[in-house]
Amino acid sequence: MTKLLQFIGGFILSFLLIVGLFTGIFWYTKDYTAPPPPGVNVDSLIAAGVWPDSLSMYAKERIQIDQKKTELTTKEEDLARKQQEIEQNRQMLEDIQKKVGEASAEEDSIMNLRYQDLAGLIESMKPADAGRVLDNLSDFSSAKILLRMRKRSAGSVMNAMSAEKLAKVSQLITMLKE
C-alpha cells in the first residue's frame, strides 16, 4: 500500500512540475507591453532626480547649476546665522567673565578679612585644639589662615596638625607666598 501511495505522490508531483514548466514557457513567450507613462511634470521628475530624455544637455546643466546655487545660498545663510550665534555667545561669555572677575576680586577682599579674623581666633586657641580645627578645614583655607598668623603661633599650630594635612598645606603655603 505504501508503494502505491509513493507512486501516486511521485506521479502527481511530476505532473505538477511539467504543467508549471509549460505554463512558464507560455507566459514567458507572450508579448508584454508596458502601460503608457502618465503625464508627469518635468520639474517633479528633476526634483526626484530623474532626468527625462527630452531635455537637452544644456538644459540639464542649467538645472544642475541652479540647484547647486540654491544649495550654496542656503549653506551661506546657515553659516552666517551660526557665525552670528557664535559672536553673541562670545559676547555673553566676555560679560560673564567680567562679572566673575569683579565678583571674585570683591570676594577675595572679603575673604582676606575673614581669614585675618580666623587667624586671630586660632592664635588665641591652644595649639592642639587649633591643629584639630585646621585639620577639618580645606587645604586652601588652612594655608590662608596660617599665612596670616604670627610665625611662632603658626609653627606651634602646624606641629599639632596631622602629617598628611600638614604636607598639603605646606605645599600650598609655598605656592601662595610666591
Highest mean pLDDT among 31-35, 63-67, 78-82, 88-92: 78-82
Least Cα distance to 138 among 161, 169, 106 occurs for 169
- When pLDDT is averaged across residues 29-33 and rounded to a whole number, the result is 64
The alpha carbon dihedral of 19, 22, 25, 27 has a sign of negative
Residue 178 clears pLDDT 60, i.e. is over it: no
For residue range 33-59, what is the model confidence (pLDDT) as tens digits?
Answer: 666 666 656 666 666 666 655 556 666
Average pLDDT over the chain reads 79
| pLDDT for res 54 | 57
* Contacts (Cβ under 8 Å, ≥6 apart) of 171: none
CA distances from 95 to 85, 86, 88, 89 (A): 15, 14, 11, 10
| pLDDT for res 71 | 93
- When pLDDT is averaged across residues 147-159 and rounded to a whole number, the result is 87
- When pLDDT is averaged across residues 10-37 and rounded to a whole number, the result is 72
Residue 146 grid cell: 596660617
pTM passes above 0.75: no
b/e code 3-24 from CB counts within 10 Å (16+ = b): eeeeeeeeeeeeeeeeeeeeee
